[in-house]
Structure 1
């Protein structure tokens, strides 16, 4: 007995479908064979009766009232291996070819059919012999007014025996076909269940944290896709865990550095003995490092809100050119330290519908990254272009660029091209989601050693395309 499961369902379904089809074919075949043989017997008797009647009527010299008429008819109309009875129109047996005389009239359905003018036919069990027979009756009138019914009765025993043998052969063939189908369905079920069991076992290992486990085997079609998807999922989990570990290591360093500075200067100031200028420098460092910590924490909190769809945008009209000018002013000091020139190219001041603070956060991050990865004495261009239904902002630099390998992953959370540059690796991931919340797109094009272009596309406001 096959235990419950997919294997059992596949085998059972195949078996039921094939068994039903075979059963229908067997029934139709056996009925067709039975009908064919029975019709052949009926056709043979009917044809013989018609031929004999035609011959008898032409060549027999009929004499009305001849007492030898019935015996003469019996001799001329009889058939081999078939009992012939001559009946009157009331079904009484006048004479027959056997020694047994019927004491009752014949009431089977073939007699009324013959009286009605048809060649009657009846198949059933003969009471006197308890044997299956076929009776064929025909009304005949041989001159004068005397009308008789010729009734032929033939045994169906040999015919039924042949049909029984044919049925046995047919059933045997059906059983053989079912056995082959059963074996085939078992093989098919195993070809599906074994890979599924393997995939299930690997999934169980992954559920226990063993993400290095892989589904092995060259499976085809949906099973192959499932195995590949599971392996890819495990690979992504391993990569995500590695990125998470790198992030924890990086953020630990990022947090430790300002905290060390804050703690050191706090203890130094608390101990006293410093002049006002040194105390002022210490307090400035504490304030600066505190702001740095707040920025790191806020970045992590923003990412958490975006992941949980809790980020609420305060939508309004935003003059994009004015926003970009404000960003340039905010980043001017940082750019000056590396002698980097910030250039804004725009002839229009388009209006977009969005959250000014969040859009500012996006472009601050993009310009900050451009400054971070640009060489000294270089130039960063912020180009603003307007189109009929959207506005494009390009942040271009001639810095280090990003390799093709890293370009596909640079927007992944916690990923950093160079962890030594600091940060959480969340900036671009947050910017990407913020732009998408504004129904826009963020595209990065870069070539290692030649610089990077980050393009942000935002829909224009329907009310006003731009402000001059």
Structure 2
């Protein structure tokens, strides 16, 4: 017995489809074989009538005989072995019969009026009224030259034919039973070939649901089942990787928060104890202020990421001149670049580089990109900020000659919480936030890099077009995306 489930449904549906198909074939076959046997009998009688009826009428004449003698002559010429021949008048009364039995009632079967109406031959299949035996009656009209109409009615038993048809039916049903048994075995095997992998996948999924992400779906499954198993294994790998990234992020952000908090706490206690001159107090307050700003930056980065994830980031859209924005960014990071003796160079091909966007968020995007370029550049190197117009777009490229990124890490560098160098500090959210902000501006961010050679980050933004088609000045990021 197959237990309840998809296996039973597969077997049941497969069995029903084959069963209905076989029943349809069986019905068509039985009707065809029955028609074949019955038509054979009918054609034999019809051919006999066609061959003898005309010669019987020509060779006999009612004027030479009494009616009884005439009918006997017709009976002798038309009779057929294994069939009763009846000569009837136009009302269906039996005038004479080859069996010798007299009938006191007229024949009322459908072949009589059909033969009279058509003037030809008609057929009727049914049971003999007196004996209940299954018979076939073939009736044809016989019309003399004087106008007298007689009917020649051949009645033959079809009981043996029906017995033969019953035997054929039983044999065909036995064959169908064997076929259905084979179908049942095959369908059970087919169901098991589908259900067994599904049960395996369910078992692995149940273990993953309990937190065991080291288990995998094993087995070389084909088609959709193979894709399902591969997808589940890939999901487990991604969960493991995400958990590792999350753990690394927690460790990193804990360190990032602890360092400024330790400095703030230490200098606060030191200043609280008193006894320091104004210069030392100024230095301590400066450190506290600097570390506080660093903490605020970390918190703001986390808040921005949270807003982006929940589609709650609001953009104040308007015309932004990228060339002026990049000049401002260069001034903001100039001091940091000077510490590493890194030169910043702005190159622009064209006159107007206006885009439609949020000036503050675009400044955040390019400030993050340029800050990363400085952080990972070699001392005394050059960072080039390049602006160019391209068919309705403004492309901004930031090219450094720093440590670069290998191909494996380049594919993941824009993932949230991912850091190429976990010792370098930060949350690993900078590029993830940058990527999403660029997408909110309907732009594109691309990165190319070669380890030990440098990195180029390219941002494409739609060119600003004046006119009534300018979009609303304030747009919710989650609403238009």
Contact between 1:62 and 1:143, CA under 8 Å: does it hold in 2? no
Aligned pair partner of 2:386 in 380, 383, 392? 383
3-state SS, counterpart of residue 32 of structure 1 = helix
Q: Which piece of structure 1 moves more, 55-64 or 427-436?
A: 55-64
Contact between 1:64 and 1:144, CA under 8 Å: does it hold in 2? no
| Aligned twin of 2:327 | 325
The CA deviation string for residues 244-272 of structure 1, in whole angstroms up to 9 with x for no partner, is 10111111111111111111111111111
Displacement, 1:2? 3.3
1:201-280 matched pairs, under 5 angstroms? 201-280=203-282
Q: Does 1:359 align with 2:359?
A: no
3-state SS, counterpart of residue 253 of structure 2 = helix
The CA deviation string for residues 97-116 of structure 1, in whole angstroms up to 9 with x for no partner, is 11322111111111112222
3-state SS, counterpart of residue 388 of structure 2 = strand
Displacement, 1:12? 1.8
Contact between 1:322 and 1:349, CA under 8 Å: does it hold in 2? no
Q: Does 1:404 align with 2:369?
A: no
- The 2-side partners of 1:259 and 1:360 are apart by 28
After the TM superposition, list the runs of 4 or more consecutive aligned residues in structure 1 that deviate by more than 6 angstroms.
Answer: none
- The 2-side partners of 1:146 and 1:54 are apart by 15
- The 2-side partners of 1:360 and 1:432 are apart by 13
Q: Does 1:34 align with 2:71?
A: no
- The 2-side partners of 1:113 and 1:298 are apart by 101
Q: Which piece of structure 1 moves more, 329-338 or 269-278?
A: 269-278
| Aligned twin of 1:341 | 343
Displacement, 1:209? 1.2
- The 1-side partners of 2:446 and 2:150 are apart by 105
Q: 1:125 to 1:346 in 2, by over 3 A?
A: same
- The 1-side partners of 2:122 and 2:352 are apart by 104
Q: Which runs of 5+ in 2 are unaligned?
A: 468-481
Q: Does 1:461 align with 2:468?
A: no
Contact between 2:60 and 2:73, CA under 8 Å: does it hold in 1? no
- The 1-side partners of 2:162 and 2:343 are apart by 107
| Aligned twin of 2:124 | 122
| Aligned twin of 2:105 | 104
Displacement, 1:57? 3.4
The CA deviation string for residues 189-236 of structure 1, in whole angstroms up to 9 with x for no partner, is 211111111111111111111111211111111111111111111101
Aligned pair partner of 1:288 in 280, 287, 290? 290
3-state SS, counterpart of residue 82 of structure 2 = coil
Aligned pair partner of 2:431 in 403, 428, 431? 428
Displacement, 1:143? 4.5
- The 2-side partners of 1:144 and 1:376 are apart by 134
| Aligned twin of 2:479 | none
Q: Which piece of structure 1 moves more, 87-96 or 377-386?
A: 87-96
- The 2-side partners of 1:49 and 1:289 are apart by 121
3-state SS, counterpart of residue 391 of structure 2 = coil
Q: Which piece of structure 1 moves more, 349-358 or 8-17?
A: 8-17
| Aligned twin of 2:475 | none
| Aligned twin of 1:300 | 302
Root-mean-square deviation (CA, aligned residues, Å) is 1.4
| Aligned twin of 2:114 | 113
Displacement, 1:387? 2.1
| Aligned twin of 2:317 | 315
Q: Does 1:350 align with 2:353?
A: yes
Q: Does 1:187 align with 2:189?
A: yes
3-state SS, counterpart of residue 123 of structure 1 = strand
| Aligned twin of 2:44 | 44
Contact between 1:353 and 1:461, CA under 8 Å: does it hold in 2? yes
3-state SS, counterpart of residue 68 of structure 1 = helix
3-state SS, counterpart of residue 458 of structure 1 = strand
- The 2-side partners of 1:430 and 1:331 are apart by 20
Q: Which runs of 5+ in 1 are unaligned?
A: none
Displacement, 1:145? 4.3
Displacement, 1:188? 1.6
Q: Which piece of structure 1 moves more, 394-403 or 68-77?
A: 68-77
- The 2-side partners of 1:184 and 1:79 are apart by 54
TM-score by length of 1: 0.96
- The 2-side partners of 1:238 and 1:141 are apart by 101
TM-score by length of 2: 0.94
Displacement, 1:142? 4.2
Displacement, 1:456? 0.3
Displacement, 1:146? 3.7
Displacement, 1:243? 0.5
